[in-house]
């Protein structure tokens, strides 16, 4: 009977040791699970921040695209005005050249008429 009691006590000690090991293992698992939960919360927070930043950047992108389109239209309009002004300038330049040519011709004619008039008197 003593042997049996001793064997049962040994088995009880082994079971207690296994139980203590399992309790320690569960405690370590719980701590690890808590750390994982904290990491998951941090990752979700970071994901939310990134989503907000992406949304803000997309909004800025849309605004910049609108601004680019507006500036492109303004550039085209400015080029049209510049081309029209260049045409007007060239026309005015041509008109001045023609007026100078006519003035030169008129001056030559006047000079010729003066010299003819002097020759007649």
pLDDT at 116 (0 to 100):
83
Q: Categorize the per-residue pLDDT at 103 as very low, low, confident or very high, splitting at 50, 70 and 90.
A: very high
> Which residue would you say has higher pLDDT here, 105 or 2?
105
Give the CA angle between residues 114, 115, 119 to the nearest 5°.
Answer: 115
Tell me how far apart the alpha carbons of residues 48 and 40 are, in angstroms, rounded to a whole number.
12
Please give the share of the chain, as a percent, with pLDDT higher than 90. Answer: 84
pTM: 0.55
Q: Work out the average pLDDT over 101-115.
A: 93
Neighbours of 120 (CB within 10 A): 6
CB within 8 Å of 29: residues ≥ 6 apart: none
């Amino acid at each position: 009977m003593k042997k049996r009691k001793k064997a049962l006590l040994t088995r009880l000690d082994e079971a207690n040791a296994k139980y203590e090991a399992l309790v320690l293992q569960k405690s370590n698992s719980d701590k690890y699970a808590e750390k994982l939960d904290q990491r998951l919360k941090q990752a979700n927070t970071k994901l939310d921040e990134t989503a907000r930043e992406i949304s803000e950047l997309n909004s800025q992108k849309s605004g910049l695209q609108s601004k680019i389109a507006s500036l492109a239209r303004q550039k085209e309009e400015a080029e049209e005005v510049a081309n029209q002004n260049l045409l007007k300038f060239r026309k005015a330049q041509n008109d001045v050249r023609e007026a100078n040519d006519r003035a030169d011709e008129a001056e030559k004619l006047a000079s010729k008429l003066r010299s003819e008039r002097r020759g007649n008197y």
